[in-house]
Structures are given as structure tokens and as C-alpha cells.
Structure 1
Amino acid sequence: MSKGLVLISGVNGYIAAQTAKYFLDQGYSVRGTVRKVTSAKALLEDGLKEYAESGKFTVVEVPDITVEGAFDEAVKGVTAISHMASPVSFFFTDPEPILHAAVTGTITILNSALKAGPQLKTVVLTSSIASIKDTQLPPYTLTEQNWNTIAESEVQRLGKETPGPIIYSASKAAAEKAFWKWRDEHKPAFTMTAINPVFVIGPPLTAPKSEKDIGETYHSIWTVFAGRPHPPPMAGLPATVDVRDVAALHEYPVSHPRETDGERYIASDGVGHPQAIADILRKAFPEAQGRIVEGTPGEGYDGEYKGDAGEVVLIDNSKAGKLLGGWVGYEKSVIDTARMFERLL
């Protein structure tokens, strides 16, 4: 017997696909939404093929998540919702459609959730550290109490001149604020929880067929593994978390709804650095040592991947860590991700 039916919006996304697998492995059934069923081909025929054939994993089309009522059919009979469909890129050039999709898509699925029936117990939002990182001067430690207070006003000030990362940050902050405002206004019977990951790394559910299929947040692992010059270290907030930890954090509120109602959880583990990636991969793949650029071993990071002496913005991940009981770990994330790239080399 299934533990329940979970709706995952944007199920063909990098994080969403691994989240679907986690729910399925835990005994749930999953209904995923996509713009076009063809975009879920890799899941249906490869990554989640066994579950698709058994009927535990199904896919439905929601062509436009911003249309009121777009999720009305998709939510029927579901016991939980993970809303993960939202634009993701650090190279956006026009903020208006991005913020519209992020905010309106969140509101439409919540409005549909009100029509789902009493069996719906939980709605989980995939937010981001981008909605938490604020503008205070370092050094400081980020917690779930922090909010990004500048990105949206920067979008208003700069318009189409807004840098892509700020557009993305504004979209995540605005969408999560809309999520909580909706909760205050509607006081639904179901519980509501937000998950706020940092840069997500770790293996995609299905191996990329070409470099263009490699996600932005873990592309640096490919760059190093492919033997190219090390990319520059991540600017600003180099924290990372494994995609499988993010998936597990989406399930926890579904199995513990009252404990997590109204809460935010920062998903963060290791601090990434290109030199650390090179050191890890040269050790794990000795046959690739002639390809992977050596760099300066040990430089720029500490041995526990928790930062370096120059770190001025820290992240308190203890709240989510207590739920999981531990993290996958930076080394395993890097190695498992690289294994997904072997067929491309």
C-alpha cells in the first residue's frame, strides 16, 4: 500500500526528479507535473521507469503554471504537494516574466490546493538560500530568521539592467513571501513548510547526454573532471548541499506535518571550492590524474569542507541537520556527481 500520493510540480527538474525518486523509494506514489509530457521522457523511460511501469509514478501536463486553476486537476486525490516548478538560472536578463512565473505559480498551486479535499495534509515549497541571504555587513551567520530585503528593490531600481543572480534571488524571495502571506490570509487546514537550499550539487537522476544538460550549480565538478582549467571559486556564498539531502528534507514535512508546520529549513552542508574538487577527484579517480589539473593541493579550503580562514558569512544548518540526522557529505557529492559524467569523456 502506498503511503500517499504526492504531487511534485516541475518533476523533470534536477532537484525535483531526485525528490520524486526519494518519495517513491519511501513508499509513496508520485504524480509529477510538466509543461509537456515529452519533457519527462527520461524519467518515464529511464530514471523512474520501474515506478512508471508499476503505475506508482505518473505524469500530467500543466502547460502554464501561472494560469488560475492550472493545477485543479493535478491536485485531485493528492495527500501532499511539493511545489518545485520555478525558473532557475543565474543568467536571466528580464526580471518581469521570471518574478511573474515564480510568484503567480506559487499562488495558483496554493489556490488549487484548497480544492484538493481533506486528504491533503501538507504543502512544501522549494525556496532558496537566495530568499534568506540579507544585506548586513559580514561577519555574520545566516539562520532561518533572515530574509533577503534588497533583491526585489534592486529589480525595481534596475529593471532589465538587473544582474541575473539578483533576478533569481528576487524571484525566490518574492515567491516565498507570497507563500507565507497566502498562509496567513487563508489559514488552510493543511500544513505549510519551506525548504531553503544553498547551491545544490550531487548526481542528477539520469546521466546527462551532453555538456549542455549539466546543471549550473554542479557544472564546476564537470569542468574540473573534464580536465579543464579550474573555474574561479564561487563568489559570495560558496556553500553546497547534496541533492539527495534536499530530497529527504522535502519528505520530512510530509511524514511529520505538525512538527514542521510554518517552518523554514536551510539545506546546507559543505563549502565548495574548485581546488577541493580537484583534490577529491584526483584521489578517487587515479586513472584520471593525468587529465585533471592538479592546481595547488589543499589550498583555499579546510579539510572538513566547512570554509576557510577568510570565511565571513556562515550558515547555521543545525535546524535541518536535526531532521536528517546527518548529511551526505561534500566528498561523496563530488565523487557521485563525477561518476555521472564518465560517459561524456
Structure 2
Amino acid sequence: MSGDLVLVTGGTGFIGAHCIAQLFHAGYRVRTTVRSLEREADVRAMLKVAGCEPGAELSFVAADLMADAGWAEATAGCTYVLHVASPFPLGVPKHEDDLIVPAREGALRVLRASRDAGVKRVVLTSSFAAIGYGHKPQDAPFDETVWTDVDGGGVSAYAKSKTLAERAAWNFIAREGGDLELSVVNPVGVFGPALGPDFSTSIVLVERLMNGDVPGLPRISFGAVDVRDVVDLHLRAMVHPAAKGERFLAVAGEFLSFIEIARILKHHMGGAAKRVPLRQLPDWMVRVVALLDPSVKLILGELGKKKGASNAKARRVLGWTPLTNEESIVATAESLVRLGLLKDSAKKA
């Protein structure tokens, strides 16, 4: 309950809004950046769903990752900065630089402004995408010592953007960071309670399954973690002395396949999961679907691959204890039903 001022970049985002709510519950003062101040009402609506109504205690600054304006004002007087904002599209961008440049340059803008404002520590939201791609298949789980090989072939523009942005952040700290400290959190797919229609790409997967928008299930496995645990890890990395200069993988447990997620939804969600398919799609069919649906192109390189990641470091160093995969997937689905964000609820409305 320190009352320190914390900046959260990207308050309109899924993780950003949860960060703001948890910070207020923990007794911090919060400022957040939005690309347009017209989005303030959207942020406050999400916070209300999260059980947080900060009123005038929450302040807003307009700032864009691609422009210098606003960042000095945003970081002024802050003790900590959670740099959460970064582009994550549903489809494949026309050019990879559409993702890489905003992610890298945005991180550097935030770090530069934080250094100049005398911020103590920045926690950067990176991704497992900066760790687990461009490698030959391996049996051992990935950990924080590994970096995605952006030249390894088949690496998506998103994975490149997160890798190059995080690399640039560490290089900045080493060369010109001054007294500024950096910690990094690398989440896998982020699930958990939606607070409104602005939610993560991972939650779109559950939404599409629940709506019956996919004909079947591709042979894909990926890590999962609850957004509340991702934010908890950010807050621990923000203040713990041992987190300085460290990166932390945020993963709940074993990687999940689409069919395992579908079975969890069927088991726990009753009639709300009636449209969830249980049929496994052959790889060739997924490739055909990708010709029609750009979002499916993002997963083609992962068909049939088995991966794992370790949360041992976050547990050992920061005392982090995440919810289970099952708890997180169920919380995701329950929130979509509760907020009326599925097809059936839209018709009833």
C-alpha cells in the first residue's frame, strides 16, 4: 500500500485494464496511456467489470507508440512503469515492419521517457514468442535463457516483433539506461476473465470455439496462463529486488491442445458449449481454411509441433503460483457468457 504512482501503457488492452485494477486494489496510484482520450470511458467500463471504480484517482494521457508526444507527461512523477501496450493482430500484416517497428520503437520511447523522468523500474510485457520459435524440435521445456531465432525460418512477424523489441530494450538498458532498471515478463497465450469486447487474441480462440465458428480443431498445442496471474507476476517483478535485470516466463503448466480446450469447455460450460467442436482436422484441411481466413495463417507453422515451457524461475525467485489451465479456460468462457459476448446472448439482447 505504498501509494506510488505507476504508469500502465495501453490501458484499453486486455492485460492493461487488468493491470490497472490490480494496482488499485494493491494501493497504488495509476496513470495510463491511450491513443485517444475518447477511450477513457471504455477503460472505466472495463475497470467497473473488474470491481474497480477509481474515479479521479486514475489519470489518462494520450500517447502513441509511434510518436514522441505525450510520453514525458505520461512518465512524469512515476516510480514504476508497466509497458504492456504492443500490437497483436488477428491476421498476418501486409509487411512485418507494421508490427516490428511499433513494438521496438514504442519500447524504446517508453524506456527513454522513463529514464529521463527518474522512474525506478520498467516491467516490459514481452512474450513466449520471444523465446520459443525458430528452433529445432526439443524435448526439454523452454526457459528464460532461450531466445527466438528470428532467422530460423517460419518465424511470424509477431514473434519477430516481440523478440526484436525485447532485445532492443535490454540493449538500451545496457548502453544508455542510466539508473533505470528493467524486468521482463514473457507470457504464453493469455486467457482469463474478459472485461469487455476488447480482449486478447487468445480469448478469441475460446470465443470462436463457443460460437461454433470453426469446423474442427487443428493439431496445435500452446501454453496458457490466466491474465490475473500475468498481472500478479508483473507486480512482483515491479518491486522485488531479485527481479532487476531478469526475464520471467508466465505459463501455468503443460501446453494445451485445441482438443483439450474443447473438452474442458464441454465438461464445464453445459449448454453454452453446445457448438464447441470435438473433431480433429487434418493438417491439409487447416491449410485450405487458411487460404480463406487470414488469422489461421498464424498457426500453420505450429501444426503438429510439441512444445513446453517452464515457470520454475518465476516460482522460485518471485514466489509466483498460477491458477491451473482448466481454471483459466473456464473463467474465460464464463466471462464471455456473463458479458453477453457470444452469439446466443447477442440474439437474446
- 8 Å contact from structure 1 (residues 224, 277) kept in 2: no
- 8 Å contact from structure 2 (residues 184, 248) kept in 1: yes
Structure 1, unmatched stretches of 5+, are 155-162, 297-309
CA distance in 2, matches of 1:290, 1:74: 46
Aligned to 1:268: 251
Q: Does 1:225 align with 2:220?
A: no
Query: Following superposition of structure 1 onto structure 2, how do residues 1-345 of structure 1 map, counting pairs within 5 Å?
Result: 2-48=2-48, 53-62=54-63, 64-68=64-68, 70-89=70-89, 90-117=91-118, 120-139=119-138, 140-151=140-151, 166-204=156-194, 206-208=195-197, 213=198, 215-229=200-214, 231-233=216-218, 235=220, 238-256=222-240, 258-270=241-253, 271-288=255-272, 290-293=274-277, 295=279, 312-322=306-316, 323-342=318-337, 343=340, 344=342, 345=344
CA distance in 2, matches of 1:56, 1:107: 28
- Matched residue type, 2:217: P
Give the secondary-structure state (helix, strand or coil) at the position aligned to 2:183: strand
CA distance in 1, matches of 2:166, 2:143: 16
CA distance in 1, matches of 2:32, 2:219: 32
CA distance in 2, matches of 1:320, 1:68: 33
CA distance in 2, matches of 1:314, 1:65: 32
Structure 1's consecutive aligned runs of 4 or more residues displaced over 6 angstroms after TM superposition are: none
CA distance in 1, matches of 2:5, 2:28: 6
Aligned length: 312
Identical amino acids, percent of aligned pairs: 29
Structure 2, unmatched stretches of 5+, are 281-303, 345-349
TM-score by length of 1: 0.82
- 8 Å contact from structure 2 (residues 252, 324) kept in 1: yes
Please give the per-residue CA displacement for 1:182-231, whole angstroms capped at 9, x wherever unaligned: 01112422321011111111122x232xxxx5532122212232345564
CA distance in 1, matches of 2:77, 2:223: 38
CA distance in 2, matches of 1:111, 1:52: 31
Give the secondary-structure state (helix, strand or coil) at the position aligned to 1:102: helix
The alignment yields a C-alpha RMSD, in angstroms, of 2.5
- 8 Å contact from structure 1 (residues 135, 148) kept in 2: yes
Change (3 A) 1:187 1:76: closer
TM-score by length of 2: 0.81
Offset at residue 54 of structure 1 (A): 3.6
Q: Out of 39-48 and 86-95, give the one that drifted further.
A: 39-48
CA distance in 1, matches of 2:239, 2:42: 28
Offset at residue 144 of structure 1 (A): 0.7
